[in-house]
Chains A and B, each alone.
Chain A
Amino acid sequence: MPEFDTDSKLAQEYKYGFYTDIEQETIPKGLSEDVVRIISAKKEEPEWMLEWRLKAYRRWLKMSEPRWAYLDYPKIDYQDIHYFSAPKKQEEGQEMDPELLKTFERLGIPMNEREALSGVAMDVVFDSVSVGTTHTELLEKEGIIFCSISEAIQKHPDLVKQYLGTVVPPSDNFFAALNSAVFTDGSFCFIPKGVRCPMELSTYFRINAADTGQFERTLIVCEDDAYCSYLEGCTAPARDNNQLHAAVVEIVALNNAEVKYSTVQNWYAGDENGKGGIYNFVTKRGHCRGHHSKISWTQVEVGAAITWKYPSVVMEGDYSSGEFYSVALTNKKMQADTGTKMIHVGKNTSSTIVSKGISADQSSNNYRGLVQVNPGADNARNHSACDSLLIGRECSANTFPYIESENASAVLAHEATTSSISEEQLFYLRSRGIAEEDAASLVVRGFCKDVFKQLPLEFSVEAIKLLEIKLEGSIG
């Protein structure tokens, strides 16, 4: 593994900035129908999947990149990206490449099941492929399918066919179409009827190779009365050029099902001059298809140079509900345009939005959220609270909610505040002998509390630490 100067300032701020030097198999840069065919062939996909990809690709050619978000970035050259890169395959029966194992140890992810956190099943995606999934046998006993999406396409084609693209169709938007054409890996979770998933399911995304794009595709299906909690984490090496991560995540919840989806997104965000970093253009959507179903998004966004992400819930089933809890932190020259969409279709549906934006240094942090009540959505309820915290004179925080009500029985409330850490709060803490930096950090932690308490315990602790590291030097 090449040396990554662990004493550098950057390394202290972003300890995941190293890269792994292993033999990678990468296809040449560029995007064409042939590239789509190559990706499909590498994944040994059936014919129908290739057709699906090609259809999406042809659709994508006719679409244009959305530019309505409050973001400022140069034009992306889609021909200057490697669409597939994977560590060279090992011979059958051989252990995982020791370099890879080392990498994951450094990232804090034990790939060895004996050492793994007992309560968490892991799928790990390295550039374009899944390199391993843990605890699959234990889950199989319950009838749960947890594997990479490539594996699912081969082993469970009927299930994939039934659900893939039904929540986020390939024609949904520019990045979804691109993803549908060239997606490489991601997770597939299927929780059968009546099963409560006994452990947290988790996927770790790692970008390693240079000039590659990562196109994650995740599909989670919870049948009637099923439950699962899914966690996602991401990191990438510190590089001077921008890399694209365009993911699509689809969640389907049938009658009485519940899905909890948590993200701790810590992509490399670029240096203090705004050089480098990941473009995180993500389409995440859940579909409460059955009655009394529930989908909950929790996200902690602390990385990526540009974030364009709106995890949504379509509440079609009666009595279904959607939740969105978010902490989005931007510092240095980061830009984020993130929020949610709550679409009320069925009767007696309810949704909650809690968004906490923190902007520091010269960053720009935007909340953009839609609450839509369709004419048939009787008794829809929504409460949205969006708070922004400004740290530093050169940052900006913007809030753009869209509230649309076409039903007289809907009750919707939205509130938003923008402010800085108040002198009074700091004074109160300082007068009790708490150092200024700690006091500011305490206030920030309190500001995010409503969201952090939604995270599973280990993640919650991690998220707080992450936030503190990111804000070091910005406060106090």
Chain B
Amino acid sequence: MPTLALPPAVEPAILPGFDENVLDAALKGEPALLQAKRTAAYEAYTTIQNPEAFHEEYRRMDPRKFKFGSFTRLDIPHQTIAYNAQPVDGHYDVVISVTPEGIAIEDRGDVTASGKVRVQTLQQAALDYTTEVEQALGTAIESEEPRKFFELNSAFWNVGFHIHVAKNATLERGILLRYHNDREGSALLPRLLVTAESGAAFALAEQFTSPDGVATLCISAREFHLAPNADVKLVSLQDWGSAGIHIGEDWARIKRDAKVDLFSMTLGGKVSKMTVGCDVCEPNANAYLGGLFFANGKQHFDQKTLQFHSAPNTYSNMLYKGAVKDTGYSVYQGIIRALKNCVGVDSYQTNNNLVLDPGARADSLPGLIIDADELACSHGATMGNLDPEQMYYLRSRGIPESEARRMLVLGFFEEVIERVPFETMRDRLHEVIEQKLNPVTEK
């Protein structure tokens, strides 16, 4: 039976720029465990066909747009560089900053010293907590078919962190991960492994930035393992400059009574392909997927979600809101999957789109694959422009048209933004949306 995944390859399928020589460079100086993991991932990566425009998942995102071959994998030094504080950092307990020059981990709230949280590079974690990393790294995905870019990242990641939150530990302000890449033609492959012990509760924010006009590629993979009763919130803001290309894979496994909120915000860059999957794998596990995307100019965004129910009595809810303007093109594809005998599943999927200009395009492909009865799974998708009646209401109260549009678009997105756990993130989202609505024309 056909599936959405890429088919297996007959001959080793290697993407330009990610071959055996590059793997050798990635293996150099790594702990034995990571070397083994990388080699195994490389094997898996070569056995999956390279994406082509005729593959179902890439029909609306020509893989040639990723421009493999014109980017070189960054060799990010392991040593710590000087921490460069930014105004928003005060809102977080721990700030991790990554640039092509190196990394900095800054514990502002003394949470690592108290033993609540461990924030380490994956290399260090592989040495200090070998068994834990061995069990967790690369396994959040086990219920899905192998995925090309997840495996690619698993083999070639050039910066990786392990965040571990101890049993019943709560973080007041959360963790910020900042990636900044200003090297033309370079590829950043960040890897993040998050393990939350039972009862742990915290929030994590991630931000990607680069200067406008600098061509960069990012292939990111994050995985989250939530032990029973953990409560984790994650916000990822893709805020690349105008020439960024982004491919992201997020996977979460949520155990009994645990709850995850995964927010994926796609605003920057030229081309973006984001996949967010969650597996609620024990009874009463709960997942919320929030998404926001706004493509203007010639931006092309593709987001995919997968709500995987591999146990009975599990819950998931999804809300993705998108807008397209100018000649922007957005694609949303999502699947709710309920396995055999997973009764008592309650799952919902909503995708709302605003098509603001002629010439812009939005596609929505929500999907349900249900193999069990006695459950309730549903989805809803809408597409349209701003409601003329709402516009009229505002205009008749003396509000200028551009302001009325701004209010309505911000209001449209607010349903997702208001759930974002960080004020600094919410502010940045508002700021970018406003910029997109009324771009400052360059003199």
User: How near does chain A come to B383, taking the closest CB pair, in angstroms?
Assistant: 4
Is B371 a contact of A408 with CB atoms below 8 Å? no
Is A415 a contact of B378 with CB atoms below 8 Å? yes
- Answer whether A408 and B370 are a contact pair too, CB < 8 Å, given A403-B365, A415-B378, A417-B377: no
Complex interface residues of chain B between 348 and 371 (CB less than 8 A to chain A): 353, 355-371
Taking the complex as formed, is A244 at the interface, i.e. its CB lies under 8 A from any CB of chain B? no
| A72–B2 alpha-carbon span in the complex (Å) | 9
Taking the complex as formed, is A420 at the interface, i.e. its CB lies under 8 A from any CB of chain B? yes
Taking the complex as formed, is B372 at the interface, i.e. its CB lies under 8 A from any CB of chain A? yes
- Answer whether A405 and B383 are a contact pair too, CB < 8 Å, given A68-B56, A71-B1, A415-B378: yes
Taking the complex as formed, is B390 at the interface, i.e. its CB lies under 8 A from any CB of chain A? no
| A201–B341 alpha-carbon span in the complex (Å) | 46
Is A398 a contact of B368 with CB atoms below 8 Å? yes
Using CB atoms, name the residue of chain A closest to B368.
Answer: A399
| A99–B373 alpha-carbon span in the complex (Å) | 46
- Answer whether A403 and B363 are a contact pair too, CB < 8 Å, given A398-B370, A411-B383: yes
| A415–B2 alpha-carbon span in the complex (Å) | 24
Taking the complex as formed, is A203 at the interface, i.e. its CB lies under 8 A from any CB of chain B? no
Taking the complex as formed, is A390 at the interface, i.e. its CB lies under 8 A from any CB of chain B? yes
B1 — which chain A residues lie within 8 A by C-beta?
70-72
| A326–B362 alpha-carbon span in the complex (Å) | 27
Is A418 a contact of B374 with CB atoms below 8 Å? no
A397 — which chain B residues lie within 8 A by C-beta?
368, 370
The listed residue (B340, B358, B363) touching A375 by CB distance below 8 A is: B358
Taking the complex as formed, is B384 at the interface, i.e. its CB lies under 8 A from any CB of chain A? yes
Counting contact residues on chain B (CB < 8 A from A), the size range is 35 or more
Is A405 a contact of B361 with CB atoms below 8 Å? yes
B375 — which chain A residues lie within 8 A by C-beta?
390, 418-420
- Answer whether A413 and B381 are a contact pair too, CB < 8 Å, given A388-B370, A398-B368, A398-B369: yes
| A68–B380 alpha-carbon span in the complex (Å) | 24
Taking the complex as formed, is A410 at the interface, i.e. its CB lies under 8 A from any CB of chain B? yes
Taking the complex as formed, is A10 at the interface, i.e. its CB lies under 8 A from any CB of chain B? no
Using CB atoms, name the residue of chain B closest to A365.
Answer: B370
Taking the complex as formed, is A49 at the interface, i.e. its CB lies under 8 A from any CB of chain B? no
Is B370 a contact of A390 with CB atoms below 8 Å? yes
The listed residue (A70, A399, A403, A418) touching B383 by CB distance below 8 A is: A403
| A412–B365 alpha-carbon span in the complex (Å) | 13
Is A390 a contact of B364 with CB atoms below 8 Å? no
Complex interface residues of chain A between 380 and 420 (CB less than 8 A to chain B): 388, 390-420
Using CB atoms, name the residue of chain A closest to B362.
Answer: A405
- Answer whether A400 and B365 are a contact pair too, CB < 8 Å, given A70-B2, A71-B1: yes
A406 — which chain B residues lie within 8 A by C-beta?
360-361
| A395–B373 alpha-carbon span in the complex (Å) | 8
A403 — which chain B residues lie within 8 A by C-beta?
363-365, 381, 383
Is A408 a contact of B358 with CB atoms below 8 Å? yes
Is B368 a contact of A410 with CB atoms below 8 Å? no
| A410–B386 alpha-carbon span in the complex (Å) | 11
| Interface residues of B, dominant DSSP | strand
A412 — which chain B residues lie within 8 A by C-beta?
381-384
Using CB atoms, name the residue of chain B closest to A389.
Answer: B373
Taking the complex as formed, is A69 at the interface, i.e. its CB lies under 8 A from any CB of chain B? yes
Using CB atoms, name the residue of chain B closest to A391.
Answer: B373
Is B365 a contact of A410 with CB atoms below 8 Å? no
Complex interface bits, A191-222 against B, C-beta within 8 A gives 1, otherwise 0: 00000000000000000000000000000000
Is B384 a contact of A418 with CB atoms below 8 Å? no
Is A410 a contact of B383 with CB atoms below 8 Å? yes
Taking the complex as formed, is B304 at the interface, i.e. its CB lies under 8 A from any CB of chain A? no
Is A420 a contact of B384 with CB atoms below 8 Å? no
Is A416 a contact of B368 with CB atoms below 8 Å? yes
Using CB atoms, name the residue of chain A closest to B59.
Answer: A402
| A419–B360 alpha-carbon span in the complex (Å) | 35
Taking the complex as formed, is B379 at the interface, i.e. its CB lies under 8 A from any CB of chain A? yes
The listed residue (A72, A393, A417) touching B376 by CB distance below 8 A is: A417
- Answer whether A418 and B370 are a contact pair too, CB < 8 Å, given A405-B362, A412-B382: yes
Is A405 a contact of B355 with CB atoms below 8 Å? yes
Using CB atoms, name the residue of chain A closest to B374.
Answer: A420
B379 — which chain A residues lie within 8 A by C-beta?
399, 414-416
Taking the complex as formed, is A114 at the interface, i.e. its CB lies under 8 A from any CB of chain B? no
Taking the complex as formed, is B385 at the interface, i.e. its CB lies under 8 A from any CB of chain A? yes
User: How near does chain B come to A357, taking the closest CB pair, in angstroms?
Assistant: 10
User: How near does chain A come to B420, taking the closest CB pair, in angstroms?
Assistant: 26
User: How near does chain B come to A369, taking the closest CB pair, in angstroms?
Assistant: 11
- Answer whether A409 and B385 are a contact pair too, CB < 8 Å, given A69-B2, A70-B2, A414-B364: yes
| A9–B258 alpha-carbon span in the complex (Å) | 50
User: How near does chain B come to A338, taking the closest CB pair, in angstroms?
Assistant: 15
User: How near does chain B come to A456, taking the closest CB pair, in angstroms?
Assistant: 32
Taking the complex as formed, is A67 at the interface, i.e. its CB lies under 8 A from any CB of chain B? yes
B374 — which chain A residues lie within 8 A by C-beta?
390, 420
- Answer whether A414 and B381 are a contact pair too, CB < 8 Å, given A375-B359, A402-B363: yes
User: How near does chain A come to B55, taking the closest CB pair, in angstroms?
Assistant: 11
B384 — which chain A residues lie within 8 A by C-beta?
410-413
User: How near does chain A come to B314, taking the closest CB pair, in angstroms?
Assistant: 15
User: How near does chain A come to B60, taking the closest CB pair, in angstroms?
Assistant: 9
User: How near does chain B come to A376, taking the closest CB pair, in angstroms?
Assistant: 9
User: How near does chain A come to B305, taking the closest CB pair, in angstroms?
Assistant: 14
| A182–B343 alpha-carbon span in the complex (Å) | 47
- Answer whether A410 and B355 are a contact pair too, CB < 8 Å, given A395-B373, A398-B368, A405-B362: yes
Interface centre among A404, A410, A418, A420 (most CB of B within 10 A): A418
| A407–B385 alpha-carbon span in the complex (Å) | 9
The listed residue (A400, A408, A418) touching B357 by CB distance below 8 A is: A408
Complex interface residues of chain A between 46 and 77 (CB less than 8 A to chain B): 67-72
Is A393 a contact of B341 with CB atoms below 8 Å? yes
The listed residue (B2, B343, B358, B380) touching A414 by CB distance below 8 A is: B380
| A419–B382 alpha-carbon span in the complex (Å) | 21
Using CB atoms, name the residue of chain A closest to B369.
Answer: A398
Using CB atoms, name the residue of chain A closest to B336.
Answer: A418
Is B382 a contact of A404 with CB atoms below 8 Å? no
Using CB atoms, name the residue of chain B closest to A407.
Answer: B358
Using CB atoms, name the residue of chain B closest to A68.
Answer: B2
User: How near does chain A come to B6, taking the closest CB pair, in angstroms?
Assistant: 14
B364 — which chain A residues lie within 8 A by C-beta?
401, 403-404, 414
Is B362 a contact of A415 with CB atoms below 8 Å? no
| A68–B1 alpha-carbon span in the complex (Å) | 8
Using CB atoms, name the residue of chain B closest to A406.
Answer: B361
Interface centre among B56, B343, B382 (most CB of A within 10 A): B382
Complex interface bits, A146-184 against B, C-beta within 8 A gives 1, otherwise 0: 000000000000000000000000000000000000000
Q: Which residues of A does B touch, CB under 8 Å? A: 67-72, 375, 388, 390-420
Give 26 A-B contacts (CB < 8 Å), ordered by A residue.
Answer: A68-B56, A388-B368, A390-B372, A393-B341, A393-B373, A396-B369, A396-B370, A396-B371, A398-B367, A399-B366, A400-B365, A400-B367, A403-B364, A403-B365, A405-B363, A406-B361, A407-B358, A408-B356, A410-B383, A410-B384, A413-B383, A413-B384, A414-B366, A415-B379, A417-B377, A418-B378
4 closest A-B pairs by beta carbon, nearest first, are A390-B373, A417-B378, A411-B384, A412-B383
Give 9 new A-B contacts, CB below 8 A, not counting A410-B384, A417-B377, A418-B378: A68-B2, A390-B370, A393-B372, A397-B370, A401-B366, A411-B384, A412-B382, A416-B380, A420-B373
